[in-house]
Structure 1
Amino acid sequence: MPWLPITIVLSLAAIVSTSAIAYVKSTSKPKNPIPPSIVIDRVFVDKSDRVLKLMSDGKAIKSYRIALGGSPVGHKQQEGDQRTPVGVYTLDYKNENSIAHRSIHISYPNTADKAYAKKLGVNAGGDIMIHGQMNGFGYLALFNQRRDWTDGCIAVTNDAMDEIMAAVKLGTPIEIVE
């Protein structure tokens, strides 16, 4: 069984190198941080292109690749449908103690969302956030951001989440389109 020691050594090397890469990334500064003088006045999300843009005076200042829920097409209609809402909402609070690496809450459901869910006889759901990777799994962002894995939230890398948290003020509108 000479392959067993080789497999163990290769596995350990992969774990050590992944940890080293994660450490270097966590201690490095963003390449192009958003200057504090730029006011982000809108967040724009295009679900079909899987992109989140920070906007100022109609210009995209920074763009990020996003992951969505497991059933991303269409407007969120009820709790558990794994969809991200479509429409204009507000970023209304920040959570530094999230189950993911930081998060900003999106004001879903609004009055129309609640009324529609009531008409259907279902719970509209809530807790829709922009957030980083699940705590302890930031090193998997390279893989996670290539698939839809949330329950309806908008996921970015941890570095992106740090930039977004610093740049976006509470009360900023977020427009989410199909």
Structure 2
Amino acid sequence: MRIIRTLLLLAGFATLAACGEPKVKPYDGPEVTQIYVNKSARKMYLLHQKEVLKSYEIALGFAPQGHKQFEGDGRTPEGLYYINRRNPNSAYHLSIGISYPNPNDREAAKAMGKHPGGDIFIHGQAGKNKGRPPDWTAGCIAVDDAEIEDIYAMVRDGTPIYITP
């Protein structure tokens, strides 16, 4: 019985070792105090106070102009939001959630008789944009998989994200 347990434990460790490099990396650099996204320039910046720590080329929703108004409009939100969750098992490699919709977004959508939508993330690609136009998400902000690994490690829940037109 003891031998079987030992063999099962060794098999489990071998399976984990075969999985390769983990997606979630350690980070011990300066704190990311805010994220700034410039939609028209297709750029995202991770900042510590006023210092740019990293910048990234990004893809946006498939209808990139204008603020997200309702579910299915293909737009990326604009305004001040916060990082509010993370998904290490994302279909897009890794993802961190943006706090859209806020109360104003809900009211605006309701006034149009629509649902505001949700599930807006910064995420990787996981091969999902091959052959698509540069802006291909349903409203999210996409970077490549290696970049989302860095972003996932650097950014903490509660970090403000300011998204501009």
TM-score (structure 1 length as normaliser) = 0.75
RMSD, aligned α-carbons: 2.1
- CA distance in structure 1 between the partners assigned to 2:137 and 2:47 by the alignment: 24
Q: Aligned ranges for residues 47-58 of structure 1 at < 5 Å?
A: 47-58=39-50
The one-letter amino acid paired with 1:104 is I
User: 1:125 aligns to what?
Assistant: 117
8 Å CA contact 1:79, 1:124 repeated in 2:
yes
- CA distance in structure 2 between the partners assigned to 1:77 and 1:139 by the alignment: 24
8 Å CA contact 1:66, 1:156 repeated in 2:
yes
Please state how far the C-alpha of 1:173 moved relative to its aligned partner: 0.4
Q: Can you give the 5+ residue segments of structure 1 that lack an aligned partner in the other structure?
A: 1-25, 28-32
User: Which among 88, 95, 101 is matched to residue 96 of structure 1?
Assistant: 88
Larger helix proportion of the pair: 1
TM-score (structure 2 length as normaliser) = 0.81
- CA distance in structure 2 between the partners assigned to 1:123 and 1:139 by the alignment: 26
User: Which among 131, 146, 150 is matched to residue 159 of structure 1?
Assistant: 146
- CA distance in structure 1 between the partners assigned to 2:98 and 2:66 by the alignment: 17
User: 2:163 aligns to what?
Assistant: 176
SS in 2 for 1:39: coil
The list of structure 1 runs, each at least 4 consecutive aligned residues, that deviate by more than 2 angstroms after superposition, is: none
User: 1:15 aligns to what?
Assistant: none
- CA distance in structure 2 between the partners assigned to 1:168 and 1:39 by the alignment: 8
Q: Can you give the 5+ residue segments of structure 2 that lack an aligned partner in the other structure?
A: 1-19
User: 1:110 aligns to what?
Assistant: 102
Please state how far the C-alpha of 1:97 moved relative to its aligned partner: 1.0
User: 1:76 aligns to what?
Assistant: 68
Percent identity, please: 45
